[in-house]
């Protein structure tokens, strides 16, 4: 089994990602770190606890950063921190809380950043990270203890976009919420597999898959079916896919890549950087796919497409399981 740590801003697709990771026989989830992103960190932590309890798991949850590193210090740069942009709107794909019972379990006393540093430094360098929210926790950990960089086996990131964006004409949400954190992590030097919107949109999951999962008895399958339907409604009001019977489950694709890289397609080893300049391209992932900057060394394995058939099959097989 591959040892992994999840870093999430639970949200509806994070929830599916968590269930996929915990239910997979290939992954050993050592802990789940939460961060401010889709909602404030209190909500993303409560939602994470709800999912863990709902599928009967005892994976520990560590509460992380409540705010991005510096973005909210500059007037006019990022008003909505914590993000409330979709709250109570028809395009909302997450909701404040997941549609499952309130948690009766609690998160660990140790904060996510210090647990991350300690766990990685004590390890043999055999732990991979799967980051599917803003990168604040990991960037803070790298600043506190740069030694963790060589201790990370592989870092799977759901974030950024080459030709696809979602929160501004230039940026993807996870990188936009904390551009400095994204810039620190992308330039850290660890082995990165980046799963951007170009891949997650190509890997959009069909409502037919949700209907198949709804027929199952396992809690993971039933909740995933409900969340796919919830996301489809929000996406068709906000950013409809070409096939409006499909919806991206961004974070689950990053988890499935850690299980089987065949869910990704057109993976290139290129130079990527992040704009943290605070202007109209704030948070943009600049992907040098054509190697235009001859001075810039490749630093990221980026997937420009997805194998949606393999992704859907792996997702359904895994989510039909129980712990």
Just list the catalytic residues: 9
Query: Which residue among 23, 61, 69, 158 contacts ligand RIB (CB under 6 A)?
Result: 158
The residue range among 25-33, 41-49, 149-157, 167-175 that interacts with ligand RIB, by the rule CB under 6 A, is 167-175
Rounded to the nearest whole angstrom, what is the least distance from the CB of residue 10 to Ca ion in the complex? 7
Can residue 235 be called a binding residue for ligand RIB (CB under 6 A)? no
Q: Whose Cβ is closer to ligand RIB: residue 166's or residue 224's? A: 166
SS3 track for 206-225: EHHHHHHHHCCCCHHHHHHH
Can residue 157 be called a binding residue for ligand RIB (CB under 6 A)? no
Contact of 209 with 243, CB cutoff 8 Å: no
Total number of residues shown for the chain: 323
Q: Whose Cβ is closer to ligand RIB: residue 11's or residue 64's? A: 11
Query: Which residue among 173, 257, 272, 307 contacts ligand RIB (CB under 6 A)?
Result: 173
Partner that binds at residue 166, options Ca ion, ligand RIB, none, CB closer than 5 to 8 Å by kind: ligand RIB
Q: Whose Cβ is closer to ligand RIB: residue 172's or residue 209's? A: 172
Partner that binds at residue 190, options Ca ion, ligand RIB, none, CB closer than 5 to 8 Å by kind: none
**Beta strand 192-195 with 27-34: parallel, antiparallel or unpaired?**
unpaired
Contact of 285 with 162, CB cutoff 8 Å: yes
Distance CA 198, CA 28 (A): 28
Rounded to the nearest whole angstrom, what is the least distance from the CB of residue 311 to ligand RIB in the complex? 15
Site string for Ca ion, 94-133 (x = CB under 5 A): --------------------------------------xx
Provide CB contacts within 8 A for 4, sequence distance 6+. Answer: 21, 27, 28, 29, 30, 127, 128, 129, 130, 258
Distance CA 292, CA 280 (A): 22
Rounded to the nearest whole angstrom, what is the least distance from the CB of residue 124 to ligand RIB in the complex? 29
Rounded to the nearest whole angstrom, what is the least distance from the CB of residue 38 to ligand RIB in the complex? 5
Q: Beta-strand (E) ranges in 70-206?
A: 127-131, 152-158, 192-195, 205-206
Q: Whose Cβ is closer to Ca ion: residue 228's or residue 270's? A: 228
Contact of 185 with 141, CB cutoff 8 Å: no
Can residue 9 be called a binding residue for Ca ion (CB under 5 A)? yes
Q: By C-alpha distance, which of 92, 91, 88 is closest to 237? A: 91
For Cα atoms 264, 197, 221, give the angle at the middle one, nearest 5 degrees: 70
Partner that binds at residue 198, options Ca ion, ligand RIB, none, CB closer than 5 to 8 Å by kind: none
Q: How many CB atoms lie within 10 A of CB 71?
A: 22
Residues that bind ligand RIB in the complex, under the rule CB under 6 A: 9, 11, 13-14, 37-38, 132-133, 158, 166, 172-174, 250-251
Residues that bind Ca ion in the complex, under the rule CB under 5 A: 9, 11, 14, 132-133, 251
């Amino acid at each position: 089994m591959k040892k992994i740590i999840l870093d999430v801003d639970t949200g509806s697709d994070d929830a599916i990602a968590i269930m996929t990771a915990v239910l997979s026989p290939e992954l050993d989830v050592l802990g789940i770190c939460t961060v401010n992103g889709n909602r404030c960190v209190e909500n993303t932590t409560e939602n994470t606890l709800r999912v863990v309890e709902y599928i009967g798991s005892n994976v520990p949850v560590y509460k992380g950063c409540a705010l991005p590193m510096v973005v909210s210090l500059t007037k006019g740069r990022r008003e909505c921190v914590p993000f409330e942009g979709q709250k109570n709107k028809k395009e909302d794909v997450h909701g404040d809380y997941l549609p499952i019972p309130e948690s009766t379990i609690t998160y660990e006393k140790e904060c996510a950043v210090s647990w991350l540093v300690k766990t990685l430094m004590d390890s043999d360098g055999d732990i991979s990270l799967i980051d599917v929210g803003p990168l604040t926790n990991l960037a803070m950990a790298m600043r506190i203890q740069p030694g963790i960089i060589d201790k990370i086996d592989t870092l799977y990131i759901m974030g950024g976009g080459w030709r696809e964006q979602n929160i501004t004409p230039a940026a993807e949400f996870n990188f936009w919420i904390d551009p400095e954190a994204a810039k620190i992590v992308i330039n850290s030097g660890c082995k990165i597999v980046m799963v951007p919107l170009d891949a997650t949109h190509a890997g959009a999951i069909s409502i037919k898959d949700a209907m198949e999962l709804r027929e199952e008895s396992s809690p993971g399958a039933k909740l995933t079916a409900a969340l796919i339907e919830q996301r489809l409604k929000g996406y068709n009001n906000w950013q409809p896919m070409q096939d409006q019977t499909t919806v991206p489950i961004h974070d689950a694709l990053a988890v499935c890549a850690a299980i089987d890289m065949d869910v990704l397609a057109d993976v290139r080893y290129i130079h990527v950087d992040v704009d943290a300049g605070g202007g109209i391209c704030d948070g943009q992932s600049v992907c040098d796919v054509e190697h235009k900057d001859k001075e810039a060394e490749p630093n990221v394995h980026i997937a420009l497409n997805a194998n949606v058939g393999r992704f859907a099959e792996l997702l359904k097989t895994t989510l039909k399981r129980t712990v």
